[in-house]
Amino acid sequence: MIEPSEIESRPLLGDPHDPRIQLVERIVATPAFQKANRLQALLRYIVESSISGDPEQLSEFQIGQRVFDKGTDYSPLTDSSVRVQARQLRLKLHEYFDGPGRDEMLILEIPKGSYAPNFRPAKTPNFEIYQPGEPVANETAAAEIERSGGVLPWVIAGVFAALCGCLALALRADLRRQPALMWPLISVFDEGQTTRLILADSAYQVLSTATGKPEPLDDYLRTRRQDEDAIQPSATLEAKALHALRGGTFTSFADAVLVSAVAGAAAQNHALLDLKSAKDIDPRDLEQGNFIFVGSPSSNPWVSLYENKLNFRESSDSTHPSLNLFLNLHPKPNEPATYEGTDSKDEVREDYADFAIISGLSDHGTVMIIQGLRHEGTEAVGRLLSDPGCSDLLKNAFANFGYKTPPRHFEALLAIRAVAGIPHVTKIVALRVL
């Protein structure tokens, strides 16, 4: 932990001539930061970790332990104090650059969803880039250039070329500082290859719920082809509604949360992601490549092709058809045979989600499967993947379950506590190495 006395007594670690170091020293010297030791500690830590080229220290879990003295049982998913402090830090930085720092030539930002600081030039026409130790041109030098007459255009061209070179180097360095895709999300992304994210077919899920049993994959494919035909004008209203439901492409808010998490991480790291609906996939598409499937077989029938690789399998409760559950095919000691959520009519209820990384069909490529008993479970996995502490949380979970190193292929069962349809607490209750 960084003690307040240490904050006040030592300068920021790094080259004292570095403009970034100098900027942070000016920021923390202002009264607003002098009165906020925690924010000052957080700012110093993330800047020092970034400049030293140690982005692994910028996860929410590491920040919680190193800056805020969190214990070994600290979980970013149940303790939001680091995120709260980060939001306060962003507000204080905005106040600084709108007030005492409005004339700064360098701006410090902490993008939402990240703890990596971003330094960018202020948008001012008078901005120039100076290297540490480089003398600043004075009025006498400017007058000499002006008297040089015909040499001036060449000088301007040279300065412009040098400026472009500096900007290119700065941009390249900034790209190198961007956080890499973290495990386990990186497992389904290969350089130069496109990963396909297959969303659940919400209309299919509605029909499965109404009939009490999902269609087998063969029937789903056959029905899908039939729905491409035009409906007869003489068809009943019910038939027309069914045709529109089966032929349409619908998604849910939970899927949108998950897509936002995965697509945001992929875009930040220049990874290739192709978004598809379950309706748009053909069996030949699955022969090779990496995939992310959202939904269980009752909403995404393609997941049924991979069920033989999984330990936790979605099923329906025959005594309560509206309530789904996960079957534990091979229970370990002290594990239940089923994991059931509470009734969907409850405002506060328990839910479960299954999250797995497995090999593709015929062991070609890598597949991530995300299936929740309800939308809250799917949304919880999306929140987990977008959390900077996701990697540390999963690694700690494997350690708690007796695994020394995270495996390549695994399955994790998550318990979710949802309030009014919003997942608030996520806990890993079972793990399998596949």
Whole-number pLDDT of residue 34: 86
Q: Which residue has the tokens 């006395």?
A: 5
Cα gap 354→350, rounded to integer Å = 14
Which range, 120-134, 250-264, 325-339, is most confident?
325-339
Whole-number pLDDT of residue 69: 87
190 in Cβ contact with 370 (< 8 Å): no
Q: What are the two backbone dihedrals, phi and then psi, of residue 285, each rounded to the nearest 5 degrees? A: -65, -25
142, pLDDT greater than 70 = no
Query: Mean pLDDT over residues 199-223, rounded?
Result: 72
Determine whether 348 is exposed, middle or buried from the number of CB atoms within 10 Å of its CB (0-12, 13-18, 19+): exposed
**What are the tens digits of pLDDT across the range 95-108?**
898 888 888 888 99
Report how far Cα 378 is from the mean position of its chain's Cα atoms.
14
163 in Cβ contact with 157 (< 8 Å): no
Query: Mean pLDDT over residues 235-255, rounded?
Result: 70
Q: Retrieve residue 103's tokens.
A: 């004339």
Q: Where are the domains of the chain?
A: 4-125, 185-433
Q: Which residue has the tokens 């899927």?
A: 255
205 in Cβ contact with 295 (< 8 Å): yes
286 in Cβ contact with 247 (< 8 Å): no
Whole-number pLDDT of residue 158: 54
**What are the tens digits of pLDDT across the range 246-272?**
666 677 777 877 888 788 777 777 788
Helices 202-211 and 237-247: angle between axes, nearest 10 degrees: 130
Q: Which band of pLDDT confidence, cut at 50, 70 and 90, is reported for residue 229? A: low
332, pLDDT greater than 60 = yes
Whole-number pLDDT of residue 234: 72
Q: Which amino acid is at 200?
A: A
Q: Which band of pLDDT confidence, cut at 50, 70 and 90, is reported for residue 213? A: low
Q: Retrieve residue 412's tokens.
A: 């994790």
Whole-number pLDDT of residue 262: 82
Whole-number pLDDT of residue 221: 75
Q: Can you give the length of the chain in residues?
A: 434
Cα gap 183→431, rounded to integer Å = 16
Please name which of 384, 380, 379 lies closest in space to residue 185, comparing C-alpha atoms: 384
Cα gap 151→107, rounded to integer Å = 34
Q: Which of 171-180, 344-353, 370-379, 410-419 has the lowest mean pLDDT?
A: 171-180
Cα gap 308→313, rounded to integer Å = 9
322, pLDDT greater than 70 = no
Query: Mean pLDDT over residues 47-55, rounded?
Result: 82
Query: Mean pLDDT over residues 165-174, rounded?
Result: 46
Whole-number pLDDT of residue 180: 59
pTM exceeds cut of 0.85 = no
